């Protein structure tokens, strides 16, 4: 077996695995989004908060669709020895790789800028949808409960919000150490940290794990680009 044939077979197998994984993820995402109650019944005793994360289905659909497309392009490109499919595969992986590097740079070097961007997106959601939209409320309740945090920055994110106005000018119970009556005074005295800062602290505590996973993903992406470009260049003069 020549080098070209070996690399071709490995490319096909690798991308077949990506395609199947994406298909499974896509199927689960569709299932959760369309029939969340059925999904909860299947996962059983660990499902107490599952419905609060029903929007995770849309995330699974997006990631699954990307994986299916990548797996299809890589597998078919290698199998049919199609330079156009291999090039398209290379370009998509390269775009994802560049986007990940850019996001990492912004998060690490311009953390305050990243925080302001996220705040501009999250704050309107807390103001307008929390307490009104069931999915948004469920996701934030679980987040604040698990991380022991309040809002994005702190309790002031809820000031003047739909929840604040419809609950007698009080804040969610997670914003106070005492849940009896979480008004502005109680929330200010509780000093509950915002969820962004709490999450940022957790990421810093687990920086080695997060960094290792990120490096591993980048290495796989670089390997995929190198293999696809090798096949692209060797198709006309393969062994």
Residue 207: inside a domain: no
Query: In this predicted structure, what is the pLDDT of residue 238?
Result: 55
Domains in the chain, number: 2
Same domain, 94 and 35: yes
Query: In this predicted structure, what is the pLDDT of residue 239?
Result: 47
Query: In this predicted structure, what is the pLDDT of residue 112?
Result: 67
Residue 117: inside a domain: yes
How far is residue 217's CA from residue 215's CA, in Å, rounded to a whole number?
Answer: 5
pTM of the model: 0.60
- CATH code assigned at 164: 1.10.1450.10
How far is residue 70's CA from residue 94's CA, in Å, rounded to a whole number?
Answer: 12
Residue 76: inside a domain: yes
Same domain, 27 and 86: yes
Q: What's the full length of the chain, in residues?
A: 239
Terminal Cα distance for the chain, rounded: 9
Residue 216: inside a domain: no
Q: Which two tokens stand for residue 61?
A: 């659909």
How far is residue 118's CA from residue 134's CA, in Å, rounded to a whole number?
Answer: 21
How far is residue 75's CA from residue 208's CA, in Å, rounded to a whole number?
Answer: 33
Same domain, 70 and 149: no
Residue 107: inside a domain: no
Query: In this predicted structure, what is the pLDDT of residue 38?
Result: 53
Q: Which parts of the chain register pLDDT below 50?
A: 42-54, 239
Same domain, 83 and 126: no
């Amino acid at each position: 077996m020549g080098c070209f044939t070996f690399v071709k077979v490995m490319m096909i197998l690798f991308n077949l695995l990506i395609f199947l994984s994406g298909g499974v993820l896509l199927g689960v995402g569709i299932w959760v989004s369309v029939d969340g109650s059925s999904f909860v019944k299947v996962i059983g005793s660990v499902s107490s908060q599952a419905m609060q994360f029903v929007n995770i289905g849309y995330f699974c659909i997006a990631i699954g669709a990307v994986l299916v497309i990548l797996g299809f392009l890589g597998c078919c490109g290698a199998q049919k020895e199609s330079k156009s499919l291999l090039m398209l595969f290379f370009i998509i992986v390269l775009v994802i790789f560049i986007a990940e590097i850019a996001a990492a740079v912004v998060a690490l070097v311009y953390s305050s800028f990243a925080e302001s961007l996220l705040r501009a997106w999250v704050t309107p959601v807390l103001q307008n949808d929390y307490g009104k939209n069931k999915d948004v409320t469920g996701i934030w309740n679980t987040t604040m409960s698990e991380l022991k945090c309040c809002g994005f920055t702190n309790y002031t994110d809820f000031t003047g919000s739909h929840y604040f106005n419809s609950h007698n000018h009080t804040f969610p119970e997670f914003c106070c150490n005492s849940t009896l009556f979480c008004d502005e005074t109680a929330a200010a005295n509780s000093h509950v940290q915002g969820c962004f800062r709490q999450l940022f602290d957790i990421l810093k505590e687990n920086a080695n794990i997060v960094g290792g996973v990120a490096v591993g993903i980048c290495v796989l992406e670089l390997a995929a680009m190198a293999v696809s470009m090798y096949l692209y260049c060797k198709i006309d003069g393969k062994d």
